[in-house]
Structure formats: C-alpha cells, structure tokens
Amino acid sequence: MPMTKEPKLMTGNANKPLAEAIARRMSMHRGVSTKLVESRVERFNDGEIFVEVYENVRGEDMFIIQPTSNPANDNLMELLIMSDALRRSSAARTTAVIPYFGYARQDRRTKARTPISAKLVANMIVEAGIERVLTMDLHAAQIQGFFDIPVDNLYASPIFALDILEQFRDRMKDVMIISPDVGGVARARELAKRIDAPLAIVDKRREKPGEIAEMTVIGNVEDKICIIVDDICDTAGTLCKAADLIKSSGAKEVHSYISHGVLSGPAVERITKSAMKSLVITDSIEPTKAVKGAPNIRIVPTAPLFAQAILNIWNGTSVSSLFDTDMLEPIYEGLF
C-alpha cells in the first residue's frame, strides 16, 4: 500500500456538521489543518445520485463520514457511490465512518419469509469497495460478523459516563441505571459499572408489534434518580411509557441517555410532554430543528471520539483503547 502523508476526509449529505466537527477536532489533535475533500454529491431530477471528487485521491487513505440515517436509502446509496468513485480514482484504502448504521434492527429473521437486511447492506458496502467500517453502538453486536472486512464498533457509554459524573456529581449516591428492556441489560450494566451505580430493568411484553401490553419495573426505584439507557430512540413511545412508569413507581427524577436519536414522527412532542426531566442523545444523526429546540433534549458531541478513532486507524494504533473512560477524559476535557 502506498505511504500517505495525511488522512483524507469526505462526506455526503447525511450529517455534514458532524463531518466538519471531526475535521476540526483532527486539526486540534494533530496541529495540522485537516479539511474535507472538495466534492459534490448531488441528485439528478429523477433522484439519481451523482458524485464528483475535485481533488486527487490517488494512493490516499480515505475516510467517508456518512451515517445511514433518514432518509436511509438515499444516504446509503450516497455512501456506496462515493466509495465507488474513490475506488475508481485509485484511493489506497477507503474506510466508511458510519456513526449510525441504518437497517441494524433487521439483524435476524423474526418470522417466516422475512429478510436479514443488515446482512444485505453489509454485502453492498463491501462490494462497493469499502475496506474497513468504523461505527458506534451497533444495535446488535453480531452485525460485525456480517462483514468480511474489519469493523470497529465504538461505544457511547464512556462519553455518557463522563457526562453523568459531571451532571450528577453531587448526587451520584442516588443515581440508578435503568434498562428499558431485557435485551438491553448488558448495555445498561456496562454503564452502571463505569459509574458504580445500581441497575434496574423495565420488563415489557408485547401482544403484537408496536403495541405494549404490559410493563413492569424489576428493582426498587423509590427516591432514585433514574437514568434510562438505550441505543436507539425512534418514535419514543416505549421510552416515554417507561419513564412514566418509573416516575409513578416513586423515582425522584427520570433521565434518559440514548446513543442514536432517530426521533421520528411524534417523538419530540412525546418527550417534551413526558415525565423525563432530560433526554441526552449524541449527534450521530444530524438533529432536526425540532430536536434542537426541545427544552428537555440535550446533545453530546461524538466528534472527539470519531476524530481520535480515525487517527488511530490511520496510524495503525489501537481503537479499543477508546473504550476506556480514562482515555476519553482528556479528549473531552472542557466539553461537559
């Protein structure tokens, strides 16, 4: 592989503010100006996507920053076409930086005659010429095995741990971590361990998809500051019901920390009217005006984490070191 002098960043239209923030953080870390590669990603009148790269990328180590969030299909196609453009331009290596991996919830067959769309998307990404994937909080860990290329899956929990320790520094003895369902216990337990807090679970039972028949809190939440932890919040129906249940069970306050704020449909309105005192999300998905304007929604940045991960990949050093809160603390100094 040809030796490269600089990591080169490129972005589509999915989350340009995050891509620009990552470039700025890389410039701060290295003391060398890092800018996004000049390009255009446009649509013809019939919706076809066209990509043109204005700079020479021959032999370069390229990083495409593109979450596959809403509109998922358009953003995914942008990623694939950008990768093809770089491959045909003789880039040495192309890494897809996908802060939010769309289709991750379709990771298995839930009934007969249904697809495993996450595997199909993984195949498409590999065939487009991507040689490595960098993402955050995959909905299911086994998705890493869907790829035949290296996948680095970062975690938001170290960032959340830093934020919780700062926001509740005088009340940590009252903090309790809540998993909103049995499937998310491992994620919640990992964060609870980081901040040395107890754990409780909301058990939910569904009679049919999208409708919750019964919810029960497993654990004593009375007089506790309860923090619900999950990876994705879409319409916020389950999250708000869980918050209301926890509050009615005697909790002092209810907060939520969610890795990916999809927040579609009535989500923002539901959150604003819910028992939650605050909802903290990352900027893995570009927030809408409604999300930015919501009084009880706060956004924590992921640019420092992704910037350092990109530099580690480029330098050939450990990415897993970023799972450690102590390693992230200097990177996030002054941001909380």
pTM of the model: 0.94
Tell whether 260 is in a known binding site: no
Tell whether 234 is in a known binding site: yes
Q: What are 254-301's pLDDT values in tens digits? A: 999 999 999 999 999 999 999 999 999 999 999 999 999 999 999 999
Q: What are 97-113's pLDDT values in tens digits? A: 999 999 999 999 988 99
Tell me the sheet residues that pair with 256. Answer: 228, 279
One of 8, 204, 241, 247 is an active-site residue; which one? 204
204 is catalytic: yes
Tell whether 236 is in a known binding site: yes
Tell whether 29 is in a known binding site: no
For residue 4, count CB atoms less than 10 angstroms from its CB and return exposed for 0-12, middle for 13-18, buried for 19 or more. middle
Q: Where are the domains of the chain?
A: 7-155+303-331, 157-300
Kindly give the pairing relationship between strand 39-43 and strand 49-53.
antiparallel
Are 81 and 44 within 8 A, CB to CB? no
Give residue 210's pLDDT: 53
Tell whether 144 is in a known binding site: no
Question: Strands, E, within 34-192: which ranges?
Answer: 39-43, 49-53, 61-65, 93-98, 132-136, 151-154, 175-179
Tell whether 334 is in a known binding site: no
Q: Is 7-155+303-331 a CATH 3.40.50.2020 domain? A: yes
What does the DSSP 8-state code read for residue 213? E
Are 34 and 62 within 8 A, CB to CB? no
Which residue type, as a one-letter code, is found at position 254?
A: V
Q: What is the CATH number of domain 157-300?
A: 3.40.50.2020
Tell whether 139 is in a known binding site: yes
Instruction: Per residue of the chain (336 residues), give pLDDT as tens.
Output: 445 568 999 999 999 999 999 999 999 988 889 999 999 999 999 999 999 999 999 999 999 999 999 999 999 999 999 999 999 999 999 999 999 999 999 999 988 999 999 999 999 999 999 999 999 999 998 999 999 999 999 999 999 999 999 999 999 999 999 999 888 999 999 999 999 999 999 987 765 555 566 889 999 999 999 999 999 999 999 899 999 999 999 999 999 999 999 999 999 999 999 999 999 999 999 999 999 999 999 999 999 999 999 999 999 999 999 998 888 889 998 777
- Taken in order 105, 109, 115, 116, the sign of the CA dihedral is positive
Two domains, one topology: 7-155+303-331 and 157-300: yes
What three-state secondary structure class fits 209? coil
- Widest distance between CA atoms in the chain: 62
Tell whether 47 is in a known binding site: yes
Are 7 and 314 within 8 A, CB to CB? yes
Tell whether 237 is in a known binding site: yes
Are 92 and 73 within 8 A, CB to CB? no
CA gap 220, 312 in Å, rounded: 42
Number of H helices, E strands in the chain: 10, 14
